[in-house]
């Protein structure tokens, strides 16, 4: 069985640096790219379907060229993984709609609430002990920053925060449930990427029709009200490309560095995302809102320093 990634011991430092840099750039840019894509191509269900198509097809093609190895598609495994794929699809679909109605910072704030929600869920449903004092403090810093952001958000709309609530709930369930699947199905990392994106692609048409987006698209095209400009095409292509790239760099970086270094890199990426978002356009939060966001991210740093993981657990969330 071929290895997913082969490292040359004489070039280990160079390879690791390249992987971390690639992951940092992809992770920092992806949220902004998705916001840009949804602003130019206002069809979130179709956009996510195109992302799943690109990622699943990309993994399949790379495997054909022996550039990576993924577990073959088998119906019994797909049947077991299907509920996790549904939850994952709902989380990404909600996040895309959140970006449709709100700015990037709003998405980051509600994504940062995940540790607090997971801790509550772990205590309520898995009878886990209360977190340590530093962890407990960091979670409340995250909560305080999030509450301050919401209170000072001048762009507050009920629709946007409804999607934010749905996103927070689904991503929390996804993280708890998919962790269970990762630990028990026995797939390799690229196998999870392939199964997750392929099953999500199968689910996509149902939500495309259910959301009414299918009718909107055909009505716009047939009525000549919607012309797909070059900038929209480029935005969609970039979104799909970076979705695949972050899968590669995310899983590769997990193999090259420790779990602690990887999670710290993930938090730093959010700071870079905020900086990039501020520099390129005016679709961002108020100064007070940005301060509250920084408190939320600082709480995330404290949280990650207060918890340790003896073994890095592969996660299908590597591209978000």
Q: What is the 3-state secondary structure (H, E, C) of 111-127?
A: HHCHHHHHHHHHHHHCC
Instruction: Give domain status of residue 95, yes or no.
Output: yes
Instruction: Give domain status of residue 314, yes or no.
Output: no
pLDDT of residue 112: 75
pLDDT of residue 103: 82
Q: Round the CA-based radius of gyration of the chain to a whole number and report it.
A: 19
Integer Cα distance of 231 and 157 in angstroms:
28
Instruction: Give domain status of residue 317, yes or no.
Output: no
- Residue 265: other Cβ atoms inside 10 A: 16
pTM beyond 0.75: the answer is no
- Into how many domains does the chain fold? 1
Helices (H) and strands (E) in the chain, counts: 12, 0
For residue 156, the enclosing domain spans 16-308
Phi-psi region of 186 (alpha: psi -120 to 50; beta: other; left: phi over 0): left
Q: What are phi and psi of 77, to 5 degrees?
A: -70, -40
pLDDT of residue 202: 93
pLDDT of residue 315: 42
Instruction: Give domain status of residue 313, yes or no.
Output: no
pLDDT of residue 283: 66
Cβ atoms of 90 and 207 closer than 8 Å: no
Instruction: Give domain status of residue 135, yes or no.
Output: yes
pLDDT of residue 215: 79
Instruction: Give domain status of residue 36, yes or no.
Output: yes
Instruction: Give domain status of residue 318, yes or no.
Output: no
Stretches where the chain sits below pLDDT 50 are 1-14, 259-260, 308-320
Integer Cα distance of 100 and 95 in angstroms:
9
pLDDT of residue 57: 92
Instruction: Give domain status of residue 165, yes or no.
Output: yes
């Amino acid at each position: 069985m071929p290895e997913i990634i082969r490292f040359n011991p004489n070039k280990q430092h160079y390879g690791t640096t390249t992987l971390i840099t690639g992951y940092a750039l992809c992770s920092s840019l992806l949220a902004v790219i998705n916001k840009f894509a949804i602003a130019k191509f206002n069809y979130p269900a179709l956009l996510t379907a195109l992302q799943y198509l690109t990622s699943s097809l990309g993994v399949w093609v790379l495997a054909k060229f022996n550039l990576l190895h993924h577990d073959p598609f088998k119906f019994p495994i797909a049947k077991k993984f299907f509920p996790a794929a549904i939850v994952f699809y709902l989380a990404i679909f909600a996040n895309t709609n959140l970006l449709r109605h709100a700015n990037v910072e709003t998405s980051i704030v509600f994504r940062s609430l995940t540790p607090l929600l997971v801790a509550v869920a772990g205590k309520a449903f898995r009878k886990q002990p209360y977190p340590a004092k530093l962890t407990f403090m960091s979670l409340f810093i995250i909560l305080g920053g999030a509450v301050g952001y919401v209170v000072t958000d001048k762009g507050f709309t009920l629709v946007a925060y409804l999607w934010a609530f749905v996103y927070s709930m689904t991503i929390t369930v996804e993280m708890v449930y998919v962790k269970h699947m990762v630990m028990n199905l026995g797939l390799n990392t690229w196998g999870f990427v392939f199964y997750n994106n392929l099953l999500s692609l199968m689910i996509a048409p149902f939500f495309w029709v259910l959301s009414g987006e299918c009718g909107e698209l055909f009505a716009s095209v047939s009525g000549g009200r919607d012309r797909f400009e070059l900038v929209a095409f480029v935005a969609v292509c970039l979104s799909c490309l970076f979705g695949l790239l972050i899968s590669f760099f995310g899983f590769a970086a997990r193999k090259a560095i420790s779990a602690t270094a990887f999670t710290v890199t993930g938090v730093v990426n959010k700071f870079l995302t905020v900086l990039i978002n501020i520099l390129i356009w005016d679709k961002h939060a108020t100064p007070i809102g940005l301060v509250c966001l920084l408190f939320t991210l600082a709480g995330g740093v404290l949280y990650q320093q207060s918890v340790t993981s003896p073994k890095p657990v592969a996660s299908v969330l590597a591209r978000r």
